[in-house]
A and B are shown apart, each in its own frame.
Chain A
Amino acid sequence: MHALHQVLHLFFNLQSFTKNVPDVWAGFQINIKMMVVAEGLVLVFALTLAIVRGLPGPAAKPLRALAIAYTDFFRGTPIIIVALFIGFGLPGLQLGYISNLSIVTYGIIVLTLVYTAYVTEVYRAGIESVHPSQRAAGRSLGLTYMQSMRYVVVPQAVRRVIPPLLNDFVGLQKDTALVSVIGVGEAAYQAQAGSTNSTDFVPYLIAACFFILITIPLARFTDHLVAQRERRERAQAF
C-alpha cells in the first residue's frame, strides 16, 4: 500500500502536475521551434548532399568524397557529443559571429548537422531507386544532367521516400531534448529543474506527454501514406 502511494505521489500527483505544466510548456515551445527550423534546413541540405554524392564523372570525385566523409562522420558520432562540441566548442573559439549565437541556435545547428547525414542517406536511396531508364529518357530528350535530376528523378525519388523521411523526423523531434545538455531551456531541461523543485517526477511525465502528443500524429500520418502507396501499387499490378 505504501509503495502504490509512493508511485502515485511521485509520478501522478495532480497538484504537482498543474504547478509544473506552464514551465514545461514554455520549454516545449523551444523544442517545437528547433524541430521546425531544423527540419526545414535538413530537407534542403540533405537533398543537396544526396545529389552531390550521386554526381557522375571523375571531376566530381572530391565532392563525392567530401559528401561521404560528412555522412560517415555525423552518422557515426553520438548526437550528445556533437552537441557538446558545438554548444561549448563554438563559443570557446571566440570567432566573432559564430561564437556569439544564441544557445537555441546552437541546438538547431547540432540537430541540422546530425539529421542532414541521416536524411541524405534516405534521399540517396530514393534517387537510386528510380530506374536508370528514366534518366536515360530525360537525357535522350536533350535535358542536361541537372535538368533530368530536377524534373525527372528527384520528384519521383522524393515521393518514394516520404515515409522513411517522416520517420527520421519523428527521431529528430525527440532528439530536440538531447540538446538540453548544452543548456537549451527546452522541455526536458525545464522538467529536470521542475523535478528538483517539487521533489517528484511529474514534470518528466508532462514533458513525455508533450512529445507523444506531437509525434503520434506524425507517425499515424506516415502509416497513412504507406498504406495509400500500397493500395496504389496493388491497383497498378492489375
Chain B
Amino acid sequence: MSASAGGNGTAFVHVRGVSKWFGSLQVLNRIDLDVQEHNVVCLIGASGSGKSTLLRCLNLLERVEEGEIVVDGQPLTNGKVDVNALRKKIGIVFQAYNLFPHMTVIQNVSLAPRKALGVSRHEAEERAHVLLRRIGLEEKADEFPDRLSGGQQQRVAIVRALAMEPKLMLLDEITSALDPQLVSDVLNLVRELAQSGMTMILATHEMGFAREVADNVCFLDGGSILEEGKPEQIFTEPREPRTREFLSRVLEAGRMA
C-alpha cells in the first residue's frame, strides 16, 4: 500500500485498488492514492503510464472496472452516484483545452454555472468577468477561442472549470500542447490556485513545477503507482530504479528546468 499524504481523518480523495482495461490492455493496475484536502498531488511518468486515465476515472469520464474511489466522502464506484452532481464539484482541464469554439470566452465560462447550477445569466457573466480579470483576460471576454493564443485558451479553460467553484481540480497535462514561452502564464495560474488552497491532482511533464508546488508526487509506470513521496525525496533520492531511469531521461531531455 502506498504512503498516504498524512494529515488527519479520511482523505478528500480516496482511491483503493483501482484497475481498468481497454480491451485486453490493462491501463490501470491496482492504484491506491490518497489526497488530503488543500493538497496538491502531481502524477508523473511516461506517456501511456496511466496518468490521464486515472484523472478521467476520478470524474467518471472513464468507467472504473475494479476498485473503489471516494471523493469528499461520496463513493463514486458503487453505481449509485449522481454523475452530474459529482462533476459539479470536480473540475477537469484537458491538454487540448477543449473550449467550445462556437461560443465567446464569456459564454464558455458562464455556460455551466447557468445551466448546471441554475445561476442567472447576469450573475454568471458577472462572476465570469471577475475570474477573467483575475487572469488578465477580461478584454477577451467577447472574442471567440480561435482568436486567443494557446496559453490564453488554456487559462480560459481553467477559469471555465473554476466558475463551477469545484472542490477538486484535475489538470491533465495542461501545458503539453503549449509553446514553451506560453507555459509560464498557465503555470503561474496553477501556482496561485495551489496557494489559495485548492485541492488538485496534476498529471504533468513539468518536473520543476511539480517539485515546486506538489505536496506529494506519484510516479506511474505501466498503470501502477510505483513510487510515491514528498517531491524532495522523489526528485533527489528516488527509491525505485524505474523512477531514477525516468527522471534521468527527463533531465537529459532538458525538461527539469
Q: List residues of A whose CB falls within 8 A of some B CB.
A: 133-134, 136-144, 147, 151-152, 155-156, 159, 236
Segment among B68-76, B98-106, B129-137, B228-236 that sits at the interface with chain A: B98-106
Give min CB distance, A225 to chain B, whole Å.
15
Q: Which of B61-88 contact A (CB under 8 A)?
A: 61, 83-85, 87-88
A143 & B94 in contact (Cβ 8 Å cutoff): no
With an 8 A cutoff between CB atoms, is B214 at the interface? no
Q: Is the interface of A mostly helix, strand, loop or mixed?
A: helix
Give Cα distance in the complex from A236 to B61, angstroms. Answer: 29
Name 23 A/B residue pairs within 8 A (Cβ), A-sorted: A133-B98, A134-B98, A136-B94, A136-B98, A138-B100, A139-B61, A140-B92, A140-B161, A141-B111, A141-B112, A141-B160, A142-B85, A142-B87, A142-B88, A142-B112, A142-B116, A142-B117, A143-B84, A143-B111, A143-B112, A151-B100, A156-B100, A236-B146
Distance in angstroms between the alpha carbons of A143 and B83 in the assembled complex = 10
Is B31 on the interface with A (CB-CB < 8 A)?
no
Report the Cα distance A136→B96, complex, angstroms: 12
**Do the beta carbons of A143 and B115 come within 8 Å of each other?**
yes
Q: Are A140 and B100 in contact (CB under 8 A)?
A: no
The reply to whether A144 and B84 form a contact with Cβ atoms under 8 Å apart is yes
Query: Which of B87, B99, B146 contacts A140, CB < 8 Å?
Result: B87
Q: Which residues of B contact A151 (CB under 8 A)?
A: 100, 111, 115
Confirm or deny: B164 has a beta carbon within 8 angstroms of a beta carbon on chain A.
yes
Task: Tell me if A141 and B94 are in contact (CB < 8 A).
Answer: no
Contact B94 A142 (CB under 8 A): no
A134 and B92 CA atoms in complex are apart in Å by 13
B111 to chain A, nearest CB (A): 6
- For the complex of A and B, list the 4 residue pairs with the smallest distance between their C-beta atoms, beginning with the closest: A141-B112, A142-B88, A142-B116, A137-B98
Closest to B99 in A: A137
Residues of A within 8 A of B160 (CB): 141
Query: Could you tell me if A147 and B146 are in contact, using CB atoms closer than 8 angstroms?
Result: no
Cβ 8 A contact of B102, one of A136, A155, A236: A155
For residue B59, CB closer than 8 A to chain A, the reply is: yes
Most buried by B among A137, A142, A151, A155: A142
Q: A134-B98, A156-B101, A236-B146 are in contact. Are A140 and B59 (CB under 8 A)?
A: yes
Contact B92 A152 (CB under 8 A): no
Q: Are A142 and B84 in contact (CB under 8 A)?
A: yes
Q: Would you call A140 and B88 a contact (CB within 8 A)?
A: no
Q: Decide: B116 and A147 in contact? CB cutoff 8 A.
A: yes
CB of A144 to closest CB in B, whole Å: 5
| B111-144 contacts to A (CB < 8 Å) | 111-112, 115-117
Bound Cα distance A156, B100 (Å): 9
Bound Cα distance from A143 to B59, whole angstroms:
13
Interface contact A134-B112, CB-CB below 8 Å: no
CB contacts (< 8 Å) of A236 on chain B: these are: 146
Give the shortest distance, in Å, between A238 (CB) and chain B (any CB): 11
Residues of A within 8 A of B161 (CB): 140-141
Q: How far is A54 from B88 in the complex, measured between Cα atoms in Å?
A: 25
Closest to A155 in B: B102
Q: Report yes or no: A137 in contact with B94, Cβ–Cβ below 8 A.
A: yes
Instruction: Enumerate chain B residues within 8 angstroms of A152, measured Cβ to Cβ.
Output: 100
| Cβ contacts B138-163/A at 8 Å (1 or 0 each) | 00000000100000000000001100
Contact check: which of A133, A139, A144, A155 meets B94 at CB < 8 Å? A133
* Contact indicator A147/B92 (Cβ below 8 Å): no
Nearest opposing residue in chain A for B56, CB measure: A136
**In the complex with contacts A133-B96, A133-B98, A134-B98, A142-B164 CB distance below 8 A:** yes
A56 to chain B, nearest CB (A): 12
A141-B116, A142-B116 are contacts. A136–B100 as well, Cβ < 8 Å?
A: no
Contacts A141-B112, A142-B84, A142-B87 known; 12 new A-B pairs at CB < 8 A: A133-B98, A136-B98, A137-B94, A137-B98, A140-B91, A141-B160, A141-B164, A143-B111, A144-B116, A147-B116, A155-B102, A156-B100
CA distance A217 to B59 in the complex (A): 50
Which among A137, A151, A152, A159 has the greatest number of chain B C-beta atoms within 10 A?
Answer: A137
Whole-angstrom CA separation of A64 from B181 in the bound complex? 48
